[in-house]
Amino acid sequence: MTGYALRRGSPAMTCWLLSLPLVVLFWLGLQAQGGVALGVKALVSPSLEEVSELLLHYTWWPRLTVALLSGAGLALAGVLMQQVLRNPLAAPTTLGVASGANLALMAATLLAPGLLTLGREWVALAGGGLAVGLVFALAWRRGLAPIVVVLAGLVVNLYLGALSTALLLFNHEALSGLLIWGAGSLAQNGWDGAAILAPRLAIGAMAAWFLLRPMNVLELDDASAKSLGVSLKYLRFAGLALAVFITGSIVSVVGIIGFIGLAAPNIVRLAGARRLGERLVWGTLLGAVLLASTDLLLQHFSGVLPTLIPTGAVTGALGAPLLMWLIPRLRLQGDRAPQPAAALGNRYPAPGHLLIRLAIGLLLAAALGLLLGQGVNGWHWLSPDNWSLMQWRVPRVVAAAASGLMLAVAGTLLQRLSANPMASPEVLGISGGCAIALILGIFLLPAPTSGVLVGIGTLGAFVTLLILVALNRRSGFVPERLLLTGVAVSALFDAVRSVMLAGGDPRGQQVIAWLAGSTYYVDLTSALVVGVLAAALALATQPFTRWLDILPLGAPTARALGIRLNGARLVLLLLVALLTACATLVVGPLSFVGLLAPHMARLLGLSRARHHLLGAALVGMLLMVLADWAGRQVIFPYEIPAGLVASLIGGAYFMWGLRRL
């Protein structure tokens, strides 16, 4: 730390203080292996006759080295992405690199295992490269504008994740080994991983240093940067491509490790690193410290843990509370008046007629879902009085429509409240909190009943809501802080899911099916209850349409028109929480309905809040009913969960619409 003052609150002091646990864990780890002297000897000149020295040389030291390199690389990629996108929410997984790599490895394992003999890292890098290429293709026409890149990355992430879930659902046993790798495993059996990472990260660090001066221009707004003669499109492309190369290299060796690329840059920024050069240096060092400390801590307690826990899952579990602590302290640009999202189409001249057409389409889709299907003798129309089959189809159609209604309304509320086109119930974290509680209930309770699971899920959703309120009340529920809280909850959800699925428990297959959004387990009573509840909650949003028309105009305008901003936001968030929790309890945390339905309604020309809500609700119900019917018929007699079908169909449509922006 020569040449840098270790003043209180500086990034150097922060890195030094956070390095102390690493030093202690390093010493404890070597003591457990036979002492520091033996550890150093095993690193330099191991004896071929001593098993302990061979284990140190070929497992312990390589694992520590890979942890340091991976943490540093992820943090470096995070700094680059946050600088390019001017967004503290940006992280190495934002562009879908990790999801693309994971999907490529799954596909190669099932369809072309011979490719894996060429090197797993090349398959993963190819998948990650194709994913980010898709993001660039979607955002290129808008000059790689930050909000468009983030939105495209979110859509690609969700879409590739849905494809991975589909493969995993039907090939769980064949892909079980990839679950541990996909959760981020640093286990090593030699120096190959370090030998692969070290030169690539060195090249990445040198390239980042050469880009330092031009990337400082990105601190300015677009107009000022262009006045200096800078090509923002190509500069952003270079910065994002470098971040992708670094992330893809790391993912190919150790799998998906989240949070490090998000936490380290924000911590050093909070500690006082304002210039890009400072954030690159101290963020990279801190990333190495955070990941290595987490991995050493996990190894220290591995003997008392009942199952293998991947390090990537632990970083999410430990990092989520840290991020929640950071949220009230981050300086965001969220206090500015939000700008209303640009409409994707012109205003429809007769919105009432359009809503009637959507309602008729929904009725036809419901009739299709109830009456037309496949059987042992092929396609057939079912008589409405055939209750022996109708008793199975009615609950599924009602549950699909109700969940689509609730998620669509919740997504519309969020997007109008935050003026953020990527806001959705999943991003807020309510569905993630509910899912955490349900997964824990399934795995920890001996034989939980449906009523018990409903209570546990509701409790998880409202605990998440309390966290949202506690962390954001003082800031006035600024949209960016809400989304960052959702990122933290989602990181915790991903960690819990990864740990549960990597353990090899047979109940993991049931969890995967539920996470995919299946209506298979819904009975008639539950469907009717959730249908009535969905209708009641949707009607409860109608008195607030005036707020939803005014809030996107900004805080000063809203206050001038007599709206108590904090109270309005809190009431709308409560409605979002209730809608999302009820939908999650029935069909799991769906991925696209809450994001897609509001956009489709706006694309049809429904711009006023009342019409937008009604149109999104009808589109959401229509999408989910058709998705549930298609999932039952496409690969009959097998089924694809409705949520998964909605994600695949809706994601493709959304990418098409994004390309046309």
Section 246-250 average pLDDT: 86
* Residue 535 confidence (pLDDT): 92
Section 27-38 average pLDDT: 86
Q: What angle do CA 419, 161, 156 make, to 5 degrees?
A: 50
Given a cut of 90, is residue 253 above it in pLDDT? Answer: no
Backbone φ and ψ for 375, nearest 5 degrees, come out as -140, -165
pLDDT band for position 363 (cuts 50, 70, 90) = very high
pLDDT digits over 346-358, tens only? Answer: 677 788 888 999 9
2-11, 142-151, 200-209: lowest mean pLDDT where? 2-11
Section 74-94 average pLDDT: 82
pLDDT digits over 335-346, tens only? Answer: 443 444 444 446
The rounded distance, in Å, linking the Cα atoms of 76 and 79 is 5
* Residue 3 confidence (pLDDT): 41
Cβ distance 249 to 200 under 8 Å?
yes
Give the Cβ contact number of residue 491 at 10 Å.
28
* Residue 340 confidence (pLDDT): 43
* Residue 197 confidence (pLDDT): 92
* 64-79 as b/e: b if 16+ CB within 10 A: bbbbbbbbbbbbbbbb
The rounded distance, in Å, linking the Cα atoms of 587 and 404 is 10
| Top-confidence residue, 1 or 264 | 264
pLDDT band for position 69 (cuts 50, 70, 90) = very high
The rounded distance, in Å, linking the Cα atoms of 379 and 636 is 11
pLDDT digits over 542-583, tens only? Answer: 888 877 777 766 667 666 766 776 777 778 877 887 888 788
Nearest to 66 by CA among 312, 268, 241, 243: 312
Q: What is the DSSP string of 531-597?
A: HHHHHHHHHHTGGGHHHHHHGGG-HHHHHHTT--HHHHHHHHHHHHHHHHHHHHHHH---SSHHHHH
Given a cut of 50, is residue 486 above it in pLDDT? Answer: yes
* Residue 476 confidence (pLDDT): 62
* Residue 4 confidence (pLDDT): 41
pLDDT digits over 102-151, tens only? Answer: 888 888 888 888 887 777 777 877 888 888 888 888 877 776 666 667 66
CATH superfamily of the 11-329 domain:
ABC transporter involved in vitamin B12 uptake, BtuC (1.10.3470.10)
* Residue 625 confidence (pLDDT): 93
Section 599-627 average pLDDT: 89
233-242, 282-291, 307-316, 646-655: lowest mean pLDDT where? 307-316
| Top-confidence residue, 502 or 96 | 96
| Top-confidence residue, 549 or 238 | 238
The percent of residues in the chain predicted with pLDDT above 90, rounded, is: 15
Given a cut of 80, is residue 526 above it in pLDDT? Answer: yes
* Residue 341 confidence (pLDDT): 43
Section 43-56 average pLDDT: 85
Nearest to 547 by CA among 582, 581, 573: 573
What does the mean pLDDT of the chain come to?
79
User: What is the pTM for the complete model shown?
Assistant: 0.74
* Residue 62 confidence (pLDDT): 93
Given a cut of 80, is residue 61 above it in pLDDT? Answer: yes
374 beta partners: 379
Highest mean pLDDT among 279-288, 369-378, 561-570: 279-288
* Residue 337 confidence (pLDDT): 37
* Number of alpha carbons in the 13 Å side-chain half-sphere of residue 476: 14
* Residue 475 confidence (pLDDT): 67
Coil, helix or strand at residue 382 = coil
* Residue 338 confidence (pLDDT): 40
| Top-confidence residue, 242 or 428 | 242
Which CATH number applies to 396-659? 1.10.3470.10
Q: What are the domain boundaries of the chain?
A: 11-329, 396-659
* Number of alpha carbons in the 13 Å side-chain half-sphere of residue 533: 20
pLDDT digits over 489-522, tens only? Answer: 777 777 777 777 666 666 666 676 677 777 877 8
Give the torsion through C-alpha atoms of 74, 77, 81, 82, to 10 deg.
60
